[in-house]
Structure 1
Amino acid sequence: MIIFAAIHLTIQRKMSANPIKVAVIAPLSGPDEAIGQAIKRGINLFVDDFNEKRNLAYPPIQLMLVDEASHTGSAEDLVQQAAREGAATVIGPWAQDMAERMETAYQTAQLPALTLAPPTEQHYPEQPWLFRAGFDSSFETRFLANYVRNVVGEKTVNIIYPEGPEGERMAALYDETMQRFGTKVLYKWGYDAHAPELAARVQDIAKEINEQKLIGYLLVLGDAVDSAGIVTGLRAGNVRNRIVGLRTLATAAFVGHAQRIWRGDASLSSVLNNILLVTPLLFDTAGEAAQQFNSAYRDAYGEAPDWVAAQAYDMARVLGQTLKALNIDEHMPLDEQRNKLRERLAGMDKTETALPGNQGAVVLNPTRNSLPSAFVGVYDGSDLISALTQLTPIAQETVVNYLQEIIEGRALYVNDRFMYKTNVVYTGVKVDKVTSLDLKANTAEIEFWLWFRWRGKVEPQDLVFANAAGEIDLHKPEREGQDGDMKYRVYRTKGKFYLDYTDSKRAYGSELAGISFRHHELGRNNMMYVADVLGMNPANKKTLLPPAPTDTAEHEQAGGKLLKQILTLFNTEHARHDTLAALLRQDKVLAPLSGWAVENAWISQDTVKQTALGDPVFVGFGKQQPSFSQVDHGILIKPDSVRVRDIFPADYFLYLAILAFMLAMLAELLDYQHENRQYWRVESLGLRVVSWPLLLVALGNLFLDHSLLHWPLQTTKNIETVYSILWWLIPARLLTHLVRRFLWDPLEMRSKRKVPDSVKSLTTFSIYLMMLFGITAFVFGQSVTSLLATTGATAMVIGLAIKNNIDNVVSGIVLNIERPFKIGDQVKLKNAMGEVLDITWRTT
């Protein structure tokens, strides 16, 4: 009852806690509805997880959705509405002009807010209440102009822009940047944003381009909807000039609207193919955090996220982590909540104080020197992938010979900052076979293909395999070639690799096999490896992703698959995207291994730091610690048998442990209240047979999973040993209960005599002796032959010595069970007659 009451109070408190209200202002209708949907999904993904995993120390987060598109009042009215309804903070709005109008309103209402809308320029008030993350639109425009002119080498550009102050300003800014390099924009065409006659205007522009035979790139400015209309209209008008654009072209809203309005004979992929753009995030170059978000988003919504959803998730995560760090709860006055949030958010204006996000640190209101990187993407059909050259900012205090770097073509001067030209190398891995697995040596032998596609003067095959247990031969390629300036090289090799080589979260009993490598000399600034998703899986190229986070304390631990599969029959939206694992199973990569199966698989890339090893290039003031682009192809394998975690998700183990403990306590209570009733003895024994193994399974898996993630390997092995011993001890203990309940107790009740303790002890000793033999043989792997021989000889000597006593005891047991006579009966033994005066276990 106490346990039930505690659980009830815990659940009641968790459900009844007053939430912290967060207003979300986004375009939930109108032309930008798809943008609003991405924002809402990204925020919901974090908030749902936060509320589910939170402990009682933190109140839940409640979202208040406000549609900025349908709001008919002023921007100030929206802020006042959020403040009146008790919002502690706000995420939004999306529209850049509305965000600028709201900035003063947020300060007046003393309401802190985060927005995805970029500022026009990187200027912020000294005491801000509105916080932005990412680069401003001016930086983005100049960055694209620098890239097109100095990386791509294009000298002729034309611009299509929305009429109005902002569109005209960005077009002029792009033109001004190009003129700095001796290039002038040839033609500019304006259009009326969201006007019904946009299609006709685009037809006129396409006609002029064709008639004038204009060459060069076309810069398309505007929001996602207008840009989609312009791009599809140009392609429908047979304009084949390459199109470039800003971050709006990297949104799912742009692709979705283009798909809805395209009516041409060619596919949409041919329309989007080769568009070059700037974006805050590229998933194929992003690290583990972004890949996990990508996978979690697909699992939740059944489609790929874009940078909008990822940044919305980051904004929500910043707020959630800040609420926890400040211990803000429902009892704190609302004004104090808002002021504490604002003070903490204002301190996140540097990389050192910012919280991590999907693309590195989420710096709020960044200064010029703390701006996050901008990435250049290109559409391969309808898939957005990384361009083969990226620009990486050089840290402000880094000691570098800038002029030499520029002369040698390794750096550019962009937007008043020096940037490295980073070569992108598309890298693919295909595992043929895992030929052997040695758990004692913690190694696996793997045969695999490895290939590279790249431009530039680099040798991508000069690798260091981070988890190699021996030398890996990449001296002679199986095949190599070149298509224009694109180079290609493929190798086939094999080698031994250490298992469990990363901190990737896994369940106890599973092993992580795989390959991890980086370049031997070239750091992340000079070369970046990117997983060649297109080359590895052309049929379904969007699902070769790492698994979602699987921390046992906070997330599902790669388990409960049977239960999830049953649920999936009724809800296919949440089916797991594990295409790479399916491909590995299809190719039977574990065929040489008996008793193992592929559980999950992924390929990802991240940046890893290495020690300088005293190298003067990296030692001293202004010298950066060496960091490298590293590729990780992980294959999570598990024993090919049904495990408890294949039936129940890992986060159910705690509930199973509570249930088992309650059943065990109920068995004790039944024994106490019904000590002499045989029926309840059977019931309580049955409860123990169920609850004890269940409790062992639940607690054992909880401890082992926690130890695997947080404690030394030897500690995990010790816990495993204890866990295995308990699987022998508990059945032995249950067997002694069974003997006592159904042999000794009924015998004593019928005979009204106590069975000698020596007999009980001998039986118990025999049971535990068999248990000891089992532990010795199956837990410690030791032979029991000599132990059995010694024990048998000892038992023989003792048996001969007390043979008569044993015979008498056994006879006494038989007589007390069968009861052929009782005290007072006349008994004839051969020629003698006598009266039964007493019956004991040894004599009559």
Structure 2
Amino acid sequence: MTMKKAIFIYSTLSLIGLGVYFLLPEITSLEKAPVYIALAAPLSGPDKPEGKEILKGVQLYLDQINKKGGIGGRKVKLRIFDDNGKSENSGDIASEIAMSKDILLVLGHFTSSASVVAGKIYKRFGVPAITASATAGQVTFKNDWYFRMISNDAFQGKFIANYICTVLKKTSASILFTNDSRNSELVGYFEREANKCGLEIKKKWSIDSDRNKLEKEIKKAVTVLRSVKQPGMIFIAAHAYESVKIITSLKHPGTNYHIIGPEIFADKSFISRFANYPQEQVRPGYYTDGIYGTSAFIFDLANKEAHQFRKAFVARYKEEPSVLASCYYDAVHVAVEAIKLSEIKGRNDIRKDRKEIRDILISMNSIENGIQGVTGYICFDKNGDINGQIYVGVYQNRAFFPAYSQYPPIIPEPAETDVFIENAPTDEKMLAHEKNKNMTQIVYAGIDINEISNLNISRSSYTLDFYLWFRFKGEFDDSNIEFTNAANEIKLDHPITETRDRDITVRAYHVKADFKSDFDFHAYPFGKQILRIHFHHLFRKKSKLIFVPDVLGLSGFHDKKNAGKQILHATTGWTVDDISLYQDILSRASDPDIPDVLNYRTTTSYSRFNAEIRIKRKGFSFVLRKFLPIILVGLTLYCIYFIPSGCHKIRIVILIGGLITTVLHHTKLLSDISAIGYFTAIEYACFTIYALIILSVLITISIFMLYKKGDRKKITYIIRSGKIIYFSSMFIAVVWMVYIT
């Protein structure tokens, strides 16, 4: 090689090396750079409890998505801004977020006033924002950069007025509200709809929300209200703090006011504010029993995703999730999905990236383009709102239960949405729920297990003896209940009891029947099993009927902490670990016998009631019995490495005996749990023994060959290596077994 050629090659390689050295960090940082989302919430001040709930919901989702690898391998990180819930702070925070070079989207703000101010800045600089709490129409109206996860004030105001008229059958109402812009708007739409449906407004009080004047203002309004003989349904439109002050002033012995409020009434922060009042401490529910509230989400009416979210939330925070936490969990879910679908590459053009994300959010305008969240299907109308998913609950014993009648949730198409704003056209379309006066009936169902018998784990079958009851308003046909996992048909013909209190009926049955479940044998013989009861109504769809777990109807197992020890006999080797009730959705394809004219097969959804009895093995005798032959074979095989090198026959006998014993035991295990398409934990233990037998055979052959050659030094080396490999394999197998169980 000539000198010139060598210099050329080395120079080229050096340049390539320098290029890689300087470009690699940029490429690596681009590939691994985190995705930033901002959260603007009140983490101090009077709305701090609500801010904490918001943060919990958002952080839980981000931890889950990052554990799965984030977005295309990029972690999603949260930048938190405390706006104190005030509009005077939100402007500065919005400007800081807008000027950021890496924040793609913002979640928040909590209050409408803060969101309206911040929204002007987000619109000017092109920052997509999602709120799950600010309900004023001005937040999203004529701002295609702001999106809302719950119904706005116009929809809520109209909805509440309609519910009072059509469901609660009230003919008059009185209004108490704080004079801020948000609640004034809510009351305005309530009054407009009340006039349409014939609901007479008896009295209306505006209360100054200034904390220095609040007590005096409430006292004056309540004094006048008490002088009204029949005030009708009292509609309170105020924030949590003011609402609690109004309610505690209204509720006194001898008063029987009927109260309803907006979505803030359903949140955990609302009910928790009553805890310091003496009357509430003496009798929980003193102030809140019988109060109605609207909500974007009630767990008892929720889907499977919601129950998974609830379990994860309770495991993380050791408390039940609030509506706020649930809605913001969905908000960050939507944000992450929008970022995923936008497929942004980090081109250092933050404005373009933000616009692509905004365009994806706009395209989520139907069920086909939306996503399934904890609170239901999520898709936006042309204003960026989700209008149509409102539920009504009522408090009892400090718990918020679904009311007996609900409007079915409506997912509006873009062309069918309303513009809810003061200068909206006079020919605005009717609300979705007004188009369909057919209500969804809520039927509370409860199950009290008396006995579990004939438990056959290998066949996944069992016999359950239980009481089943329904609590409902009006009429309910329970003769067409189908138990989907019953071995034989179950007919509910003869109730053991039926009581009626006004228009509320409780009907109970005694059922004893055989059931089957899909048992999970992955951890066999370890692990737990779930005994299930599933039922649904044969003909009434979810839009007409929803089952809700009943914790009030009868004195069932809900209040018996040791019920599990009483219903499953100890001789079975199992004990009850937990019992849970929930409803989910059962979807069935349309009848295949009906001609599909449009070449489009639809599905029908039913509310399915589920009872799950989780059982676990009692003691370790069964597990030890199953593993004992494998343990003995494993220990015996290990003895091969301690036998003198010349005793070849003993090694062969041990190997053959170990193989026969393992095969026979494995065959017996397969007969115990037949017809499963996967391997169990104990089968993996058998495979480990097979592998160790193969290892021992190879070691034995090597020892035999070396013994014939007289190479004792290599024999010692092989035996030592075999011991290490054997012991390491056993240790790894045990650790893995512990992990999967």
Corresponding residue to 2:531 among 513, 516, 526: 513
Distance 1:253 1:507, change over 3 A: farther
Does the CA-based 8 Å contact 2:267-2:324 persist in structure 1? yes
Matched, 1:270 2:268: no
Matched, 1:337 2:353: yes
Larger Rg: 1
Q: For 1:53-132, what aligned pairs fall within 5 Å after superposition?
A: 53-54=68-69, 57-69=72-84, 75-85=90-100, 86-121=102-137, 128-132=144-148
Q: For 1:789-800, what aligned pairs fall within 5 Å after superposition?
A: none
State the secondary structure of the residue aligned to 2:301.
Answer: coil
Query: How far apart, CA to CA, are the structure 1 residues paired with 2:332 and 2:523?
Result: 29
Identity of aligned residues (%): 22
Displacement after TM superposition at 1:144 (Å): 0.8
Corresponding residue to 1:732 among 693, 708, 729: 693
Displacement after TM superposition at 1:538 (Å): 7.8
- Please name the residue that 2:606 is paired with: 628
Displacement after TM superposition at 1:590 (Å): 3.1
Corresponding residue to 1:284 among 300, 306, 316: 300
Query: How far apart, CA to CA, are the structure 2 residues paired with 1:41 and 1:83?
Result: 24
Distance 1:14 1:419, change over 3 A: farther
- Please name the residue that 2:481 is paired with: 463
Does the CA-based 8 Å contact 2:392-2:406 persist in structure 1? yes
Displacement after TM superposition at 1:453 (Å): 0.5
Matched, 1:716 2:732: no
- Amino acid of the structure 1 residue aligned with 2:362: A
Displacement after TM superposition at 1:529 (Å): 0.8
Query: How far apart, CA to CA, are the structure 2 residues paired with 1:645 and 1:203?
Result: 68
Cα distance per residue 1:272-312 (max 9 Å; x no partner): 10001111111111121112222222222222222111010
Corresponding residue to 1:153 among 165, 169, 191: 169
- Amino acid of the structure 1 residue aligned with 2:272: G
Query: How far apart, CA to CA, are the structure 1 residues paired with 2:588 and 2:372?
Result: 20
- Please name the residue that 1:585 is paired with: 564
- Please name the residue that 2:8 is paired with: none
Q: How well do the aligned residues superpose, as a CA RMSD in angstroms? A: 4.2
Matched, 1:433 2:411: no
Displacement after TM superposition at 1:374 (Å): 0.8
Distance 1:116 1:265, change over 3 A: closer
Cα distance per residue 1:776-832 (max 9 Å; x no partner): xxxxxxxxxxxxxxxxxxxxxxxxxxxxxxxxxxxxxxxxxxxxxxxxxxxxxxxxx
Does the CA-based 8 Å contact 1:90-1:114 persist in structure 2? yes
Query: How far apart, CA to CA, are the structure 2 residues paired with 1:184 and 1:623?
Result: 47
- Amino acid of the structure 2 residue aligned with 1:364: F
Distance 1:728 1:240, change over 3 A: same
- Amino acid of the structure 2 residue aligned with 1:63: L
- Please name the residue that 1:358 is paired with: 374
Cα distance per residue 1:728-747 (max 9 Å; x no partner): 41342354467579898689
Q: For 1:182-581, what aligned pairs fall within 5 Å after superposition?
A: 182-236=198-252, 239-260=255-276, 266-328=282-344, 333-365=349-381, 371-393=387-409, 416-500=434-518, 510-535=528-553
Displacement after TM superposition at 1:440 (Å): 5.0
- Please name the residue that 1:764 is paired with: none
Q: For 1:767-786, what aligned pairs fall within 5 Å after superposition?
A: none
Query: How far apart, CA to CA, are the structure 2 residues paired with 1:286 and 1:598?
Result: 26
Distance 1:616 1:751, change over 3 A: closer
Does the CA-based 8 Å contact 1:287-1:607 persist in structure 2? yes
Query: How far apart, CA to CA, are the structure 2 residues paired with 1:452 and 1:433?
Result: 20
Distance 1:644 1:98, change over 3 A: farther
Does the CA-based 8 Å contact 2:37-2:107 persist in structure 1? yes
State the secondary structure of the residue aligned to 1:513.
Answer: strand
Gap runs ≥5 in structure 2: 1-27, 414-429, 625-643, 645-672, 720-741
- Amino acid of the structure 2 residue aligned with 1:40: L
- Amino acid of the structure 1 residue aligned with 2:218: V
Does the CA-based 8 Å contact 1:155-1:216 persist in structure 2? yes
Corresponding residue to 1:611 among 572, 577, 589: 589
Matched, 1:594 2:572: yes
Does the CA-based 8 Å contact 2:366-2:412 persist in structure 1? no
Cα distance per residue 1:583-614 (max 9 Å; x no partner): 55333x33276233445542210222223326
State the secondary structure of the residue aligned to 1:258.
Answer: coil
- Please name the residue that 2:58 is paired with: 43
Distance 1:145 1:173, change over 3 A: same
Distance 1:615 1:135, change over 3 A: farther
| TM-score, normalised via structure 2 length | 0.75
Gap runs ≥5 in structure 1: 1-12, 398-411, 542-579, 647-677, 679-707, 761-844
- Amino acid of the structure 2 residue aligned with 1:129: W
Cα distance per residue 1:710-751 (max 9 Å; x no partner): xx975415x789636414413423544675798986897587
Query: How far apart, CA to CA, are the structure 2 residues paired with 1:369 and 1:101?
Result: 18
Query: How far apart, CA to CA, are the structure 1 residues paired with 2:352 and 2:547?
Result: 47
State the secondary structure of the residue aligned to 2:589.
Answer: coil
Does the CA-based 8 Å contact 1:245-1:278 persist in structure 2? yes
Does the CA-based 8 Å contact 1:122-1:367 persist in structure 2? no
Does the CA-based 8 Å contact 1:394-1:418 persist in structure 2? no
